[in-house]
Chain A
Amino acid sequence: MSLRTARALTALYFTLSLLTTTWPGMVPFARVEPMILGLPFSMAWVGMWLAGSVIVLWLLDRVERRHRDPDGGEG
């Protein structure tokens, strides 16, 4: 994957995360049912975005490292 794509996708993930955890994007997800892993849906929803950000940042880092020059420049 190119650096540009990886950065764009990361930005997209965090933009979506902000839009769907604040008004008005969160309104459809602000409910109790269905419960997930015992948590009310809205709590699982914000928890999912948090857990997902670990994976997204890790994937971004893999791509960034491949494109970075060996002396630790900014890429």
Chain B
Amino acid sequence: MERWVFITIIIAIYLAVTLTIGLLAGRKQTDSVAGYVAADRSFGLLVMYFVTGASVFSAFAFLGGPGWAYSQGAASFYILTYGALGMAPFYWVGPRIAKLGRRHGFVTQAQLITGRFPSKGLSALIAVLSLIAFVPYVTIQMRGAGIVIEAVTDGHVPLWLGALVAYGIVIAYVLSAGAMAVGWTNTFQGIFMIVIAWSLGLYLPYRLYGGIGPMFEGIREARPELLVPPGLTAAGEPWSWGAYSTFILVSAVGLMMWPHLFMKAFTAKNDDTLRRTVILFPTFQLFLIPVLLIGFSGVLFAGTPPSADFILPFMILETDLPPLVVGLFCAGALSASMSTGDALLHASASVVVEDGVMQFTKLDERRQRSLMQALVLLTGATAYWFALDPHSSLVLLLASAYGIISQFAPPVIAALYWRRATTSGAVAGLVAGIAVAVFFWQNPALKPFDMHEGVIGLLVHIPVLVGVSLATPAQDGRHVAAYVD
């Protein structure tokens, strides 16, 4: 049998297993909106751990991480740093969010924010901003899946077909089973990602250089600039400390503000499950170390991939690994892509219906669910359309998505912890923060100290939120007491 045929069969088996798990998972769930969006608040520790880990780490980490290590060296260390920082506060914040969710029936982030700060406009604004941040993120996942499949099948399965099949499956189980399917497929995919990353990340340096130490000693001789933070830019120039540091800051603040991750707090069975998930998260995150080692193993390797993001499939194909291993790796990369893509599609539909549409018309539960399913299809199709365009500048958009998403942090924190915050303050802060972030994204030359535009946005957002809140009348004490203990 030809090598690529064998590999394709392994991928097909992997996809079939994923689809089966996804479809079977939905049978245990009720037909309600709480069922579709929040899995009836039923996830135990095992599922929560992998849902969180697998949805955080996407094709961007699995393909982009090694790509950064390969071409930008120590710049990639920033992705090791922000995860635990961003997650730790959720040890306390997570259970509070979950409690409010149970008390008021919240299933989305905007419902929590506008529960405390009632405003239809604010709710719709959050829905629109979430969608703007989501579409490029889904597109990246689809392209990632298509690229990997095209690379390992020697082009016999082109990008458009690989992405279509992988995401056809994702959409099938997200449509039929919602949050429950996302949970159980991510458990399966999360295990896959961890095993593949650790085994390849340790194997490649040994196979090629006789160990991790000898590999880095070699790089130190030939390319020492790669090993000293803040590393290099994509163009190979030295990166700035301002950018390195603020990337960590904005990613840590933004991490749990992604609606698809934030909403996971509403899916946990109980508070202990949530807290355990936070504690164990850094153990999942350690898998980024072997992921970066894979990228570093390409630095001194003869031959160059078509672009840095291809370094992982390139190394796999160039080192004559057995086809079984190549097939399994491909499944691991698909896992990374699909486990984030499904959560994104699912969350974007839930957010648009609950926070956008439902603010202006009333629909019964059955119609809401149908509308969400239609939106999953529509978002998927839009992202697929972008994914096929090789010239789309979506990578640039994605880098800025964190700038938008991080602006959700001040209103969330104010809603839960600051009695004196007002609706006007929350709206003014969010609008100011977004406006500043977008301005500096469009005018990067004006950024002070090369800071990430999201951080500059926050520097304006927070004083505006505080100032306008203090200048407007305080909220009714009983209303506030339901949110701030």
Which residues of A does B touch, CB under 8 Å?
10, 14, 17-18, 21-24, 26-27, 30-32, 35, 37-40, 42-43, 46-47, 49-51, 53-54, 57-58, 60-61, 64, 72, 74
A31 to B419, CA, bound (A): 46
| Contact indicator A21/B81 (Cβ below 8 Å) | yes
A59 to B189, CA, bound (A): 29
Q: How large is the interface on B (under 10, 10 to 19, 20 to 34, 35 or more residues)?
A: 35 or more
Known: A18-B85, A22-B81, A38-B211. 4 other contacts (CB 8 A): A22-B241, A22-B249, A46-B77, A51-B282
Q: Is B96 among interface residues, defined by CB-CB distance under 8 A?
A: yes
- Chain A residues lying within 8 Å of B77, measured Cβ to Cβ, are 42-43, 46
13 contacts between A and B (CB under 8 A): A10-B88, A18-B248, A30-B74, A32-B220, A32-B228, A35-B217, A37-B213, A38-B211, A51-B286, A57-B279, A64-B91, A74-B99, A74-B485
On whether A42 and B227 interact (CB within 8 A), knowing A22-B249, A74-B96, the answer reads yes
A30 to B225, CA, bound (A): 11
- Chain B residues lying within 8 Å of A39, measured Cβ to Cβ, are 212, 216
| Contact indicator A47/B216 (Cβ below 8 Å) | no
Q: Which residue in chain B gives the minimum CB-CB distance to A41? A: B227
Q: Which residue in chain B gives the minimum CB-CB distance to A32? A: B227
Q: Is B369 among interface residues, defined by CB-CB distance under 8 A?
A: no
Q: Is B224 among interface residues, defined by CB-CB distance under 8 A?
A: yes
Distance from B479 Cβ to chain A, minimum over Cβ atoms (Å): 20
Which secondary structure dominates chain B's binding surface? helix
**B111-119, B270-278, B310-318, B406-414: which lies at the interface:** B270-278
- Chain B residues lying within 8 Å of A47, measured Cβ to Cβ, are 80, 286, 289
- Chain A residues lying within 8 Å of B229, measured Cβ to Cβ, are 26, 30, 42
- In the A-B complex, the 4 residue pairs with the smallest Cβ-Cβ separation, listed nearest first, are A38-B213, A38-B212, A22-B245, A23-B241
| Contact indicator A54/B213 (Cβ below 8 Å) | no
A72 to B99, CA, bound (A): 11
| Contact indicator B81/A46 (Cβ below 8 Å) | yes
Distance from A45 Cβ to chain B, minimum over Cβ atoms (Å): 9
| Contact indicator B272/A72 (Cβ below 8 Å) | yes
- Chain A residues lying within 8 Å of B227, measured Cβ to Cβ, are 32, 40, 42-43
| Contact indicator B213/A35 (Cβ below 8 Å) | yes
- Chain A residues lying within 8 Å of B280, measured Cβ to Cβ, are 54
- Chain B residues lying within 8 Å of A51, measured Cβ to Cβ, are 282, 286
Q: Which residue in chain A gives the minimum CB-CB distance to B88? A: A14
| Contact indicator A40/B220 (Cβ below 8 Å) | yes
